[in-house]
Amino acid sequence: MNKILRIAETHPLTWRLRDDQKTVWIKEYCNLNGYKALKKALKDMLPEDIVNIVKESGLKGRGGAGFSTGLKWSLMSKNTSKECSYLVCNADEMEPGTYKDRLLIEKIPHQLIEGIILASYALNVSRAYIFLRGEYIQAEYILKKSIQEAINFGYIGLNILGSSFNFELVLHTGAGRYICGEETALINSLEGRRANPRSKPPFPGVFGLWGKPTCVNNVETLSNVPCIILNGVDWYKSLSRSSDTGTKLMGFSGKVKNPGVWELPFGITAREILEDYAFGMKSGFFLKAWQPGGAGTDFLTEEHLDLPMDFNNISQAGSRLGTALSMAVDNKTNMVSLVYNIEKFFARESCGLCTPCRDGLPWIVKILKSLEQKTGQKNDIQNLERLCFHLSPGKTFCAHAPGAIEPLQSAIKYFRSEFESGINVKKIHLNKKIIGIQSNDI
């Protein structure tokens, strides 16, 4: 029991995980303080109390952007008192190298469901949606069963726990588009439309799902809410080593000895995660570069490993914390080939709405292919840099293209020689000779 309490106090998201990796269903979840936060909220708290507590806790969105959750809620709550509104849980985990939300859904589904109910109560929402990645077949089964369990136990339905709060939770599986990670594209898809981002303003908090105020939060974000309500703001802040509060699911993939995901305090260094949890690089491999949080984040190098893993420090180093599931790039990996593979993915997943993204990303892929095949032309690297500029933040309709060019621009910055080696120097000299001969003939 002491061990469980100690883990519960320091690992609020994962202390209920079973050793046999099986799902924690509702009876076991309730025996482990499950739905206590909901009972506390419905009995003793007003919706605005929950919004204020979440704001004071400093909880930031765990989907990658790191925006204040409480502030996002407060901006929407002004519009929810007299009209229908919605909460949408973004479970469309399509970021390459990211699998944290899947862990929470498949192993501790009721923690997420309780967080959704609490958030809905705080926002005066009577219907919420879980937008789930279509490929997560097992997660779909687990969520369907868990939602029905919550209904049977009286946590979803009419007059929950004797209160006046009515609530319905709907599970929706997506059609498999990366762009649905963008909240307005997700809303369009949920409405049955093409998954294109919407122009903002108006923001979803004012005009969202079916034209009603809508709040979109990530799985990990919502999973934090029950522990904050149950244990308080000061406790939540004490978990972190950083100005970013609470804990975060972080991990490492790639040629490491023990790839995985762990709940860790903000402020832990990347080196600690790599060496103490992932057990370092596999024999015969050395760290060449790493991405802090998904395919759409800038590469960093070994000299950045001692940076605290939080939003501010990683941003100051020229990258983004993103999902905080890092990818280790080994010394045997060619950066041109790696970036070529990443950009093919992003080009394919573009919704095609704006010209810079629709035409720019395939152009990048074409250039990278020629560089990988050692048939690159003299100005290819300069053209890639120009494309990075024209696809940067503020120049496209949404953040898809700016995210797509982050690995490219950083790879050129740190490993330019590998790109230069893809230029066909012999062909350039041959062309010069041909041009010279033609000029002499004239």
Is residue 23 pLDDT above 80, yes or no? yes
Q: Are residues 275 and 173 in the same domain?
A: no
Res 80: pLDDT? 44
Is residue 356 in some structural domain?
Answer: yes
Question: What element of type H or E holds 130?
Answer: strand 127-132
Task: Tell me which of 78-87, 202-211, 298-307, 330-339 is least confident.
Answer: 78-87
What is the tens place of the pLDDT at every residue in 133-142? 999 999 999 9
| Domain count within the chain | 3
Peptide bond into 201 cis (omega under 30): yes
Whether residue 22 is found in the same domain as residue 159:
yes
20 shares its domain with 78? yes
Per residue in 64-97, pLDDT tens?
888 999 999 998 856 444 568 999 999 999 999 8
Report the amino acid identity of residue 3: K
- The whole-chain average pLDDT of the chain stands at 92
What is the pLDDT at residue 8? 78
Cβ contact 292:327 at 8 Å: no
Q: Are residues 115 and 256 in the same domain?
A: no
H helix or E strand, kind and range, residue 440: helix 425-441
Residues 228 and 322 in one domain: no
Task: Give the other-Cβ count within 10 Å of 75's Cβ.
Answer: 16
Residue 436 is predicted with a pLDDT of 55
- Lowest-confidence segment of 7-16, 112-121, 273-282 by average pLDDT: 7-16
| Through-space distance between the first and last CA atoms of the chain, rounded to whole angstroms | 92
Specify the higher pLDDT residue, 8 or 337.
337
Residue 440, domain member (yes or no): no
Which residue range is the domain that position 169 belongs to?
2-237
Q: What is the average pLDDT across 276-289?
A: 97
Q: What is the pTM of this model?
A: 0.92
Asked if residue 384 has pLDDT above 50, the reply is yes
CATH number for the domain including 376? 1.20.1440.230
**Cα–Cα dist 274/254, whole Å:** 11
Give the whole-number percent of the chain exceeding pLDDT 70.
93
Mean pLDDT on 181-198: 93
Identify the CA nearest to 219 among candidates 112, 73, 60, 67: 112
The pLDDT of residue 66 is 87
Is there a single domain that holds both residue 278 and residue 390?
Answer: no
Of residues 77 and 147, more confidently modeled: 147
Angstrom CA distances, 41 to 132, 163, 215, 408, stand at: 27, 10, 20, 47
- Helix 109-122 and helix 100-107, axial crossing angle in degrees, nearest 10: 100
For strands 127-132 and 168-173, give the pairing.
parallel
